[in-house]
Amino acid sequence: MAQVSSTSNEQSSTAKSITLKISRYNPEHDESSQFMEFNVKYEKWTTVLEAILDVKKHFDHSVAVRYSCRQATCGSCGMIINGKPRLACFTKISELDSDVVTVEPMNNFPVIRDLAVKFEKLFDSHQKIKPYLIRDDTELVSDEKEFLQTPEEVEQYIQFANCIKCGLCNSACPTMATDSSFVGPQALAQAYRYVADSRDKGKDSRLKIIDDSHGIWRCHFAGSCSQVCPKGVDPAMGIQLLRGYMLGFRS
């Protein structure tokens, strides 16, 4: 299934063009995925998401892609772009330095259709690690102040609070490539985010949750998760620091 099309009539004369290869697959009636090719004009600032939307607008509106904010905040448009997991809205075609841009659905996530994948397992794993502050005093008495933190205490976890749950880290992780029970770098980094928060008292219960045969010990510090994170979360660091608690390097 290959289709060569062009959007030349709507672009300015400064635009260059690339071949955009889009993986097409509908689990309801397709045996396997196939690539459709489109010739797309682009400017220096054109993102991969814009190119895909261009294809939807001009050639094939049935291309399935999930997106929302277009500014790397919602975490919806994660996909494999030229072999690596990236956010389509955060990846400029000009930065890819290639005449052919291949887009595929993220690995290690079930495909809904074309480029859209299911996030249920990611959200389940995220929920499993109790992503909220745990305290003994569940209700604040009215005359009490809020929980104050020093800037140093905030620094301990704020980086990990940037996670937008886009799933790129889980897609890049070598363990997730074969282990469907692994809790994954996203959830583990979030476990660290709450454990490192000075207001939280749920360290022991979270460490217990991730201390199983498909928990934190299945991370081998390959660091691929950190390399693809579009928000600078550095899940690999969070996971190792979290493991530091379990090995007695941190208290």
Partner 1 sequence: MPQDEHKEGIGGMMNPTRYGIERVAYLLMRLSGLGLLAYFVAHIYETSNILRGQVGWNEFLELTQTTEGHLFLAIVIAMCVFHTVNGIRVMLGHGGVGVGKPARPDYPYDPASQNYRHKIGIYSSIVLAAVAAMYGLAVMFGE
Partner 2 sequence: MRESTIMKIHYGTALAAVALVAVHILMRLTQNFAESLEYESVLANYKFIPYAIMLELILILLAVHGFNGLRVILIELKQGRIYEKAVSYGCLAAMIGLIAYGSRTIIMTNMGLV
Contact residues for partner 1, defined by CB under 8 A? 25, 27, 32-33, 83-84, 105-111, 117, 155-160, 162, 172, 174-178, 180, 196, 220-224, 226-234, 236-238, 240-241, 243-244, 247, 249-250
Tell me the window of 100-108, 188-196, 213-221, 231-239 that interacts with partner 2 (CB under 8 A).
213-221
Near partner 2 by CB under 8 A: residue from 215, 230, 235, 238: 215
Rounded CA-CA distance 228/116 in Å is 19
Rounded CA-CA distance 180/2 in Å is 33
Residue 179, interface with partner 2 (CB under 8 A)?
yes
Which alpha helices (DSSP H) does 196-228 contain, by range?
203-210, 224-228
Near partner 2 by CB under 8 A: residue from 204, 211, 244, 249: 211
Beta carbons of 110 and 123 less than 8 angstroms apart: no
Beta carbons of 101 and 20 less than 8 angstroms apart: yes
Beta carbons of 66 and 49 less than 8 angstroms apart: no
Residue with smaller CB distance to partner 2, 150 or 178: 178
Nearest distance from residue 222's CB to partner 2, in Å?
A: 12
Query: Can you say how many angstroms the Cα of residue 69 is from the centroid of all Cα atoms in its chain?
Result: 14
Residues near partner 2, by CB under 8 A: 175, 178-182, 211-215, 217-218, 246-247
